[in-house]
Amino acid sequence: MIESQPANAPTIGVFDSGFGGLTVLRALIEKLPRARFAFVGDTARLPYGSKSRRTIARYAVESAQFLVREQGAEYLVIACNTASALALDAIQDAVPVPVLGVIEPGATAARHASKTNDVLVIATDATVQSQAYTGACRAQGLRALEKACPLLVPLVEEGWTNHPVTEEVIDIYLNELRAEAWLRGLNPDTLVLGCTHYPLLRPLIERAVRPGVKVIDSAEATAQVAAQIFNGRGCPILAEPAAADSVRVGGASIEVPQTEIRCFATDSVEKFERLGSRFLGRPVGKVELLDLGG
């Protein structure tokens, strides 16, 4: 047991179809450093975007039930845009604990940030096809224009997060998106990052947007909502600073909270351990192999 964790600290379960959701876990740790976390990456069955809604719901429910039943999670964060868009209701019906997705918090943050009520969303094909952000933004009184950016995820996983090719690809996508917004008579002043890989590209994206356009990170927005919920439940101690360790990530020494984390992957454990630190901003440690069935 890590000494900085309160004896009654809840376990927060975090689920993703891969390891991109570690950016959500990273944001949660920053907001709730003294909570315990259990993370599942369903790497054996990604990408979820090519699956049917029914299959996505079954996969997501299996991971959610593992986190609740086997890891004692008292709260779930679905750190996967596709699962949040297509399976949130099924997950909520399947587990007896509160469940938070990443889409509603992103839309809420966009409403607070936007003055024109016109927002842009970049995401994966599956998330865009679901139109989940469009619906969530509409519920907030916003007009949203979504665009799929399929090249960005492989560029991030290749480690090209500060590469001229990635910068050019982002410029092309955003120019296309701006042109479509102009044709539709929109005046967007906010851009939502609708994929958990995209926070690693935020510096490039912020350089590529027009002056005055605010960039909303759904991972940060989700963590902020989770922190507000736990503060409201009388758990403000979870947000107090935890003792820190000095660790090396990417050749640099950084201070990270001594937060209790267990990571599980359904396949490619070595790849998860190798790439996970890019997303989490700290070593992920020993990743445990998890068998959820077919």
Query: What integer pLDDT is reported at residue 10 of this predicted model?
Result: 87
Residues in CB range of 259: below 8 A, 6 or more apart: 2, 4, 5, 29, 33, 34, 35, 36, 37, 242
Q: What is 11-101+220-289's CATH topology? A: Rossmann fold (3.40.50)
- Angle at which helices 103-113 and 218-232 cross, to 10°: 100
Query: What integer pLDDT is reported at residue 245 of this predicted model?
Result: 64
Do the beta carbons of residue 219 and residue 229 sit within 8 Å?
no
Query: What integer pLDDT is reported at residue 231 of this predicted model?
Result: 77
* Mean pLDDT along residues 201-211: 96
Asked if pLDDT for residue 4 goes beyond 60, the answer is no
Q: SS3 of 191, please?
A: strand
In tens, the pLDDT along 28-82 reads 999 998 889 999 999 999 888 888 999 999 999 999 999 999 999 999 999 999 9
Query: What integer pLDDT is reported at residue 3 of this predicted model?
Result: 45
Confidence at 183, pLDDT banded by 50, 70, 90:
very high
Q: Which amino acid is at 4?
A: S
Query: What integer pLDDT is reported at residue 255 of this predicted model?
Result: 64
Asked if pLDDT for residue 12 goes beyond 70, the answer is yes
Confidence at 293, pLDDT banded by 50, 70, 90:
confident
Residue 45 to residue 59: CA distance in whole angstroms: 8
Beta strands 36-41; 11-16: pairing state:
parallel
Query: What integer pLDDT is reported at residue 248 of this predicted model?
Result: 57
* Dihedral sign of CA atoms 188, 154, 85, 52 in order: positive
Encoded tokens for 87: 């399976």
Architecture of domain 103-218: 3-Layer(aba) Sandwich (3.40)
Q: Which residues are catalytic, by number?
A: 80, 195
* Mean pLDDT along residues 245-253: 59
| Closest listed residue to residue 78, CA positions, set 70, 199, 68 | 68
Domain parsing of the chain, residue ranges: 11-101+220-289, 103-218
Strands of the chain, DSSP E = 11-16, 36-41, 75-78, 99-100, 118-123, 143-148, 190-193, 214-217, 244-249, 252-257, 260-265, 287-289
* Of 116 and 285, more confident: 116
Do the beta carbons of residue 78 and residue 67 sit within 8 Å?
no
Mean pLDDT of the chain: 90
In tens, the pLDDT along 78-134 reads 999 999 999 999 999 999 999 999 999 999 999 999 999 999 999 999 899 999 999
Residue 3 to residue 72: CA distance in whole angstroms: 19
DSSP 8-state assignment for residue 122: E
Asked if pLDDT for residue 189 goes beyond 60, the answer is yes
Asked if pLDDT for residue 137 goes beyond 60, the answer is yes
Residue 166 to residue 60: CA distance in whole angstroms: 31
* Of 77 and 278, more confident: 77
Alpha-carbon separation of residue 198 from 58, 142, 228, 244, 266 (angstroms): 26, 22, 24, 27, 23
* Mean pLDDT along residues 183-187: 97
Confidence at 256, pLDDT banded by 50, 70, 90:
low
Q: pTM (2 decimals)? A: 0.91
Domains 11-101+220-289 and 103-218 share a fold: yes
Q: Is the peptide bond before 241 cis (omega within 30 degrees of 0)?
A: no
Alpha carbon dihedral 82, 85, 86, 92, in 10-degree steps, equals 110
